[in-house]
Every structure is written in structure tokens, then in C-alpha cells.
Amino acid sequence: MTLPPGQKVVDGFPRFGKHLQHPAPPVPADPTIEIGGALTEPITLCVADLATLPRVELKADFHCVAGWSATNLLWEGVSLQTLYRTRIEPLLAPGAAPTHALFEGLDGFRSIVLLEDALADDVLIADRLNRKPLDSDHGAPVRLFSPGQYGFISTKHLCRIEFHTSEPLGRDRWSPLAEDPRARVWQEERHRYLPGRLVRPIYHALIRPIRALSARGSHTPPN
Ligand SMILES: Nc1nc2c(c(=O)[nH]1)N[C@H]1C(S)=C(S)[C@@H](COP(=O)(O)O)O[C@H]1N2
Ligand SMILES: [Mo]
């Protein structure tokens, strides 16, 4: 098995994230994804409507920028590219050519992605993991999953998508852990300004504390 540079296999698939110890946000009774930005009018997509799009199954690994990888996960959901071509493109404002997409979770987490990366063949809005509905640790009711990019792109508890014609503000550029805007795992694009190899040890030191904190907010006790 080959992993991207600087990654190590982790046991299982830990809950991990900027949410730290906070429990996952409750799943609304009738979850929706608001879609806005460069559209003639914003739309609300019921998560249940996703069932009308073709289902996709994808065996893929999950790579966190801190350096752990969870391998051999079976994801199910719909292709973001299909959603975009069928539901979004027809609604674009005349002349609008989006370059970026923004994804937001029910916990306020955001990721910003180049449209070209978001429309890669393997990017999903996932609602099932390993043949079960996505649980709250991993992003219920639905999450983005982009296997070719570090995990911070894959927004959990997805409730809003915006398409923009320039890079939206909001990435924390000045944080010492400034995220790479493309975050491609095979290119080791961990950091916006520093080479991936160089920051490996710093990120690595974060795995234990973030993992321990995240487990505290988990709905499933660790086994
Ligand atoms: N809504 C939300 N999505 C998120 C995060 C978060 O804190 N909140 N953390 C990101 C990070 S840094 C990682 S590595 C992955 C972890 O996904 P997991 O908890 O399913 O392992 O979720 C990403 N998506
Ligand atoms: Mo991460």
C-alpha cells in the first residue's frame, strides 16, 4: 500500500478536527444544504433530494494534514461534479465563471477550494461510510469528501455551499498553520508558505492532543 509522502497509517478512523472536544452539532429533522454565491438565486437542497442523483461508491483513504491516514474506507454518496453540472450550472448568473467553492458545516467550520479541485471525479457529498449512515463523529448527516486533498478540505456536517468568482476571504492566512489553498496530498501541500516536508514534525506533534480532545466529544466511546 502506498501512502502520500509524510503520512502514517492510523488504527481505525479517529474523530479529529478543529471542533476539538466539542460534540457534533445536532442533525436537523429535515437537513438541507443552502447553495448560494454567484447564482441568479440561492437554492435550498434537501439532503433527501440527493437520493435523486446517481449513487457513487468509492474505496478511498483519508489523509489528515497532521500526518495520519485512515485506509480502506468505503464511502457512498453523490458526486459533487454531477450535482454541479445538473443543478448549479443552469442557475449561474449570466457571464459568471466561478473559480472557488466554499463549504460550511453546522458547527461553523469552513473550507475553501478551487472549483477545479472541487469538481474532480472523486469528490463526493458523502452520506454513508463503511455501509452505514455517516455518524456524528464523521460528519452526519452529510459531509464533503475529497480524497486527493488533506482532511481539512472535507467539511463535515455540510449545510452550505457557495460558488465564488474570486477567492473568498476567510482563510486564516496569518495563522502559523496557514493552510495550503490546494492541499493536494500527493504534492504534500500542507502549508500555504512553507514546504510540506519542513512542517511535518510540527503537525505531527498535534496528532495526539487533538485526537484525545476530539475523542472526548465523540458519541461513540473509543474501543
Ligand atoms: N465541520 C467540520 N468539518 C471538519 C472539521 C471540523 O472541525 N468541523 N475538521 C476537519 C479536519 S482538520 C479533519 S482531519 C477531518 C477529520 O474528519 P473525521 O473526524 O471524520 O476523522 O474533518 C475536517 N472537517
Ligand atoms: Mo485535519
> Does pLDDT of 215 surpass 90?
yes
What's the grid cell of residue 130?
463503511
* Average pLDDT value for residue range 36-59: 95
Position of cell 461508491?
57
> Does pLDDT of 207 surpass 80?
yes
H/E stretch holding 35 reads strand 32-37
Secondary structure class of 214 (helix, strand, coil): helix
Mean pLDDT score of the chain, rounded to an integer? 95
Q: On the CB side of 207, how many CA atoms lie within 13 Å of its CA? A: 20
* Average pLDDT value for residue range 171-176: 66
Q: How far is the CA of 180 from the centre of ligand 2 (A)?
A: 12
> Does pLDDT of 54 surpass 70?
yes
- Per-residue confidence at 221, pLDDT binned at 50, 70, 90? low
Give the CA-trace dihedral at 11, 17, 19, 20, to 10 degrees: 50
Ligand 1 neighbours (beta carbon < 6 A): 13-19, 64, 105, 107, 109, 137-139, 151-152, 154-157
Instruction: For domain 8-13+32-168+178-204, give the CATH number.
Output: 3.90.420.10
The CA distance from 43 to 62, in Å, is: 30
Contact assessment for residue 195 and residue 202, using Cβ atoms and an 8 Å cutoff: no
* Percent of the chain predicted with pLDDT > 90: 92
pLDDT digits (tens, 9 = 90+) for 56-115: 999 999 999 999 999 999 999 999 999 999 999 999 999 999 999 999 999 999 999 999
The protein residue whose alpha carbon is closest to atom 20 in ligand 1 is: 138
